[in-house]
Amino acid sequence: MAIDLSAIKKTSGLKPPSMIVFGSAGVGKTTFAAAAPNPIFLQTEAGEGALELSAFPLLKSYDELIEAITALIEHDHDYETLVLDSLDHLEPLIWKKVCQVEGKKSIEEFGYGKGYVFALDYWREFLAAINSLRMHKNMSLILIAHTHIRAYNSPDTESYDRYEIKLHAKASGLIQESVDSVLFAKHKIITKKKTKDLTRRECAVSALASACSAPQKRLGTSQRIDTACLMRSTSLGQPSNKQSLTQQVRRSKNGDTKFSSR
């Protein structure tokens, strides 16, 4: 196909948001996602606790996951947000699928990291499937993951430890590149100066935490994001709402930036 200037078109720009929310166990990632507009959960782990959620039965294989996504693609429904809980519990299912197809007992049996490279094909298939929901069903995407701490050798500063998504590096990089925002959730500890007694613990969601790995900013997110504001903005992020993603930076009374969009 010949390409010339007549092929130039403006991109639509306004799409339902896609994001990764990662953090330590119990920080409130699932509760956060449950506040999204009309969510449907794909659970690869039983992490809902006491929450009442709309969810498929616990998915115990990669094939079951794809079947669930396909059902959402092919049938009419009112769900507005797809939530995967969680990426790091999906990864062993993908490794198991790779081993079944290639006739190996474990992902390490391939040698030289080849098994993890084969796994990327299934990650790409998964990402293509959920992106189809985003494009054709106008569904927002929230991918939940746990975190671990790894040493990071920075080319610009001294080495330091940082929080990273609990996935193999190749898979983590691929998935982070596919979403609009990578959000890191952690507890904010507040103490009294005199007694140093713990007074309260809050959940802070950050898109630019200094200790977290390579955040994305395609949504124009601010440094600290209030959960309620973000989920309200996610709701506004549907293509049918002209006000979405056109707000200016708004600041709360205490000076923290809640949510910004462009």
The single-letter DSSP state of residue 59 is P
Encode pLDDT of 123-171 as tens digits. 999 999 999 999 999 999 999 999 998 888 888 888 888 899 999 999 9
In angstroms, rounded to a whole number, what is the distance separating the alpha carbons of residues 128 and 214? 22
Residue type at 58?
Answer: L
**Average predicted confidence (pLDDT) for the chain:** 79
Query: Both tokens of residue 237?
Result: 């992020």
Are 185 and 225 within 8 A, CB to CB? no
Residue 243 has pLDDT above 90, yes or no: no
Q: What one-character-per-residue DSSP string does 67-123 give? A: HHHHHHHHS-----EEEEE-HHHHHHHHHHHHHHHHT-SSGGGG-TTHHHHHHHHHH
What phi-psi label fits residue 77: left (phi over 0), alpha (psi between -120 and 50 degrees) or beta? beta
Question: What percent of the chain is modeled with pLDDT above 70?
Answer: 71
pLDDT at 105 (0 to 100): 95
Residue whose C-alpha is closest to residue 84's, from 50, 134, 119, 135: 134
The CATH number of 14-214, from 3.30.1360.70, 3.90.550.10, 3.40.50.300, 2.40.100.10, is 3.40.50.300
Q: What residues contact residue 81 under an 8 Å CB cut-off, 6+ apart? A: 33, 36, 37, 38, 39, 40, 139, 140, 141, 142, 234
Residue whose C-alpha is closest to residue 37's, from 235, 238, 244: 235
pLDDT at 224 (0 to 100): 52
Encode pLDDT of 8-55 as tens digits. 888 776 789 999 999 988 888 999 999 999 999 999 988 666 788 999
Encode pLDDT of 56-72 as tens digits. 999 999 999 999 999 99
Are 202 and 191 within 8 A, CB to CB? no
| Segment 201-213 mean pLDDT | 48
Residue 210 has pLDDT above 70, yes or no: no
Are 43 and 59 within 8 A, CB to CB? yes
Residue whose C-alpha is closest to residue 84's, from 164, 14, 179: 179
pLDDT at 157 (0 to 100): 84
Are 234 and 81 within 8 A, CB to CB? yes
Residue 74 has pLDDT above 80, yes or no: yes
Q: What residues contact residue 248 under an 8 Å CB cut-off, 6+ apart? A: 260
The single-letter DSSP state of residue 35 is T
In angstroms, rounded to a whole number, what is the distance separating the alpha carbons of residues 126 and 253? 41
Residue whose C-alpha is closest to residue 73's, from 25, 124, 133: 133
Q: What is the pTM of this model?
A: 0.76
